[in-house]
Structure 1
Amino acid sequence: MDIKKIIIDENITIREAIRILDKTAKRILFVCDNNNLKGVITDGDIRRWILRNGDLSAKSKEITNYEPKYITKTEKSQAKELMKKYSVNAIPVVNINREIESVIFWDDLELKDDNEEKTKLDIPVVIMAGGLGTRLYPYTKILPKALIPIGDIPIIERIINKFKEYGCLNYYLTVNYRKNMIKSYFGDIEKNYDISYLEEDKPLGTGGSLYLLKGKVNRTFFVSNCDILIDADYAAMYEYHKEKKNLITMICAVKNITIPYGVINLKDDGEINNMTEKPEYSFLTNTGVYIIEPEVLELIEDNTFVHLPDIASKCMELGMRVGVYPITERAWMDMGQLDEMQEMINRLEGK
């Protein structure tokens, strides 16, 4: 790739750095002064800043690591060993003036081990597949949302395939609307994983349907809506959840919104206090993916409609830990509406 795309100035905002990370999808940026390497910023640096509730309008120098790892041309043969030693997924190659000449990425073909695999989790996954999918009408007049194809593969199968990369082989599908079509589909395909069905007699919401898990799951599990894909490290999410001893961890995406107008702030007497042209705001948005401990199931009442955010609020009221694992906006693909579905198709097909 053109390395200029991942070289930034330390004075750009963290919000802009996130935007560049999203666009390049390389998980690392190099902070330079006239192409001379000064530091690096990784997606992990940004995640830690967000978790500290840091201001995204602050300058990138606030999160820059000014002791970056790098190699020279003569050390290229040691790149893989050094990347393993320092747990980095990219390392720049610099000249005698510390100017970046190239970057070696861990996922370069010459660095990959043939038997290299992702961390195996082997924990249960619950996929919410019972909704009506009214925002995707008229597709959902014929098919349940879970079976709407993204390319030539139904969205629910794409979700399962993503979790399978991390060794997850046990799936629970909450079903209601057109449930027999979903069961028939998975009954007809060849698969190397197990599926169980949690059948709702009536819609119970994303939280109420989890009541049906009681007696079936007694360990940490993932929950995912059936209209989203997360392109991030599921093992890192799980490790963070355990490290923080959360009862629930929400996977949340950083969403940047620009107001396309000048915004006016007033004083109490109606006089203009200040004006901001096209201000930018950043929010953490619930993606619909959670990591949950089995104790949470005891808080859910039988045959009661409730959504998972309401259960999370109840946990917080009881003093239980509910946390967030932030990801970038690009790592979250949503097909909840028709235009978003087309965007997901375009991204997965490389358009």
Structure 2
Amino acid sequence: MDIKDFLIDENVAMIDAMHQLDKVSKKVLFVTKENKFIASITDGDIRRWILKKGNLDAKVKDIANYNPKYLVESEKKLAKDFMKKHFIEGLPILNENKDIVSVVLLNDEEYDIKRELSIPIVIMAGGLGTRLYPYTKILPKPLIPIGEIPIVEHIINRFNKYGSNEFYLVVNHKKNMIKAYFNEIEKNYTVNYVDEDIPLGTGGGLSLLKGKINSTFILSNCDILIEDDYEKIFKFHKDNNNLITMVCSLKTIRIPYGVVEISKNGEIEEMKEKPILSFFTNTGMYIVEPKVIKELNENEFIGFPDIIEKYKRYGEKVGVYPISENNWLDMGQIDEMEEMRRRLDKDE
């Protein structure tokens, strides 16, 4: 990786900065103006901007920290301790002209933050998986293999790395196959099964957990992977006193046509050639307070987005935690499933 990968001009669009952060796989970039180091920008800076302003058209200069931390060459040996002290993952080293001569990264093997997220994880694993037919004619969607293990085990393993060891699978379609799989493998966590005898939707199945979960929990679909800091998401939820926090991913789509806007009198008002649209979409992962389970009607079919809409009408606090497009893997459709396989094979 080249040092230039960590540098970004202050006039670059925020969305491009998010893509560059994904590329370097660290959470900080160093901002330049006329090739001079002037600021830093982190994934946290971008997230706070989105939540406060909701503006996806911002530039780096609107968001960056213009009082950045750095060390000079003579202090380089202090970099690791400096980064640990200030909880930062990357630090620029400047020469006497204040030019960046190197970037020091905090190596995870040398400094590993202990993960603690001991809360229940609920995974909706009872759907028919009709979009993944014919795979789901043979296997239930949670057991479709991505590499050497099924998708639901990938999900569980990621939460388990953060300290979660209590899992609830809401099962219906081909549920005995799911139970048999987890009964046969070695694991250091507990899997509880919640039998959904009739389809109750992505929200209604939670009513079957009454009396079983009485604390904040995470709800996840069984066909997604979120590659982000779960502990940080949970902390955000608690710090903001949300009833529900929805994890949302940036999505960028290029329209492969020229788009025409027509005025009221039937004339062409504006033409855009192959425009790029950016928006946030629901990933299917949520942090949820136990009140939601307690207030659900039993055996009522309802989607979790409908539950969110209901609480919004009641004035309850429902928050959004934005992540980058690269941090959300979805296998809801066959082409997306193949992309997930390629991504996981590459990471491994």
Q: Does the aligned pair in 2 maintain the 1:36–1:97 contact within 8 Å?
A: no
Identity over aligned pairs, percent: 56
- Tell me which residue corresponds to 1:328: 324
Range moving further from structure 2, 156-165 or 268-277: 268-277
Question: In the alignment, residue 15 of structure 2 is paired with which amino acid?
Answer: R
- Tell me which residue corresponds to 1:259: 255
What is the alpha-carbon distance in structure 2 between the residues aligned to residue 321 and residue 15 of structure 1?
27
SS of match in other structure, 1:183: helix
- Tell me which residue corresponds to 1:212: 208
SS of match in other structure, 1:119: coil
Q: Does the aligned pair in 2 maintain the 1:39–1:65 contact within 8 Å?
A: yes
Residues 268-307 of structure 1: matches in 2 within 5 Å?
A: 268-307=264-303
What is the alpha-carbon distance in structure 1 between the residues aligned to residue 15 and residue 256 of structure 2?
17
What is the alpha-carbon distance in structure 1 between the residues aligned to residue 267 and residue 85 of structure 2?
60
What is the alpha-carbon distance in structure 2 between the residues aligned to residue 137 and residue 118 of structure 1?
41
Instruction: String of CA shifts for 1:117-148, please: whole Å, max 9, x gaps.
Output: 43302000001111111111121111111111
Residues 123-138 of structure 1: matches in 2 within 5 Å?
A: 123-138=119-134
Query: 1:317 and 1:54, CA in 2 relative to 1: closer, same or farther beyond 3 A?
Result: closer
Instruction: String of CA shifts for 1:157-202, please: whole Å, max 9, x gaps.
Output: 1111100111111000000011001100110111111111110001
Q: Does the aligned pair in 2 maintain the 1:118–1:165 contact within 8 Å?
A: no
- The answer as to 2:90 corresponding to 1:90 is yes
- Tell me which residue corresponds to 1:3: 3
Instruction: String of CA shifts for 1:232-276, please: whole Å, max 9, x gaps.
Output: 011111111011111110000011122222222222212222222
Question: In the alignment, residue 130 of structure 1 is paired with which amino acid?
Answer: G
- Tell me which residue corresponds to 2:157: 161
Aligned residues: 347
- The answer as to 2:41 corresponding to 1:41 is yes
What is the alpha-carbon distance in structure 2 between the residues aligned to residue 323 and residue 83 of structure 1?
30
What is the alpha-carbon distance in structure 2 between the residues aligned to residue 54 and residue 220 of structure 1?
27
SS of match in other structure, 1:29: strand
How far 1:40 sits from its partner (Å)? 1.1
SS of match in other structure, 2:97: coil
SS of match in other structure, 1:52: helix
- Tell me which residue corresponds to 2:13: 13
TM-score (norm. length: structure 2): 0.96
- The answer as to 2:308 corresponding to 1:312 is yes
Question: In the alignment, residue 228 of structure 1 is paired with which amino acid?
Answer: I
- Provide the aligned C-alpha RMSD in A: 1.5
How far 1:102 sits from its partner (Å)? 2.0
What is the alpha-carbon distance in structure 1 between the residues aligned to residue 78 and residue 236 of structure 2?
30
Query: 1:103 and 1:250, CA in 2 relative to 1: closer, same or farther beyond 3 A?
Result: same
- The answer as to 2:107 corresponding to 1:107 is yes
- Tell me which residue corresponds to 1:121: 117
How far 1:214 sits from its partner (Å)? 0.4
- Tell me which residue corresponds to 2:246: 250
TM-score (norm. length: structure 1): 0.95
What is the alpha-carbon distance in structure 2 between the residues aligned to residue 295 and residue 54 of structure 1?
28
Unaligned runs of 5+ in 1: none
Question: In the alignment, residue 295 of structure 1 is paired with which amino acid?
Answer: K
SS of match in other structure, 2:246: strand
What is the alpha-carbon distance in structure 1 between the residues aligned to residue 152 and residue 87 of structure 2?
33
What is the alpha-carbon distance in structure 2 between the residues aligned to residue 279 and residue 27 of structure 1?
29
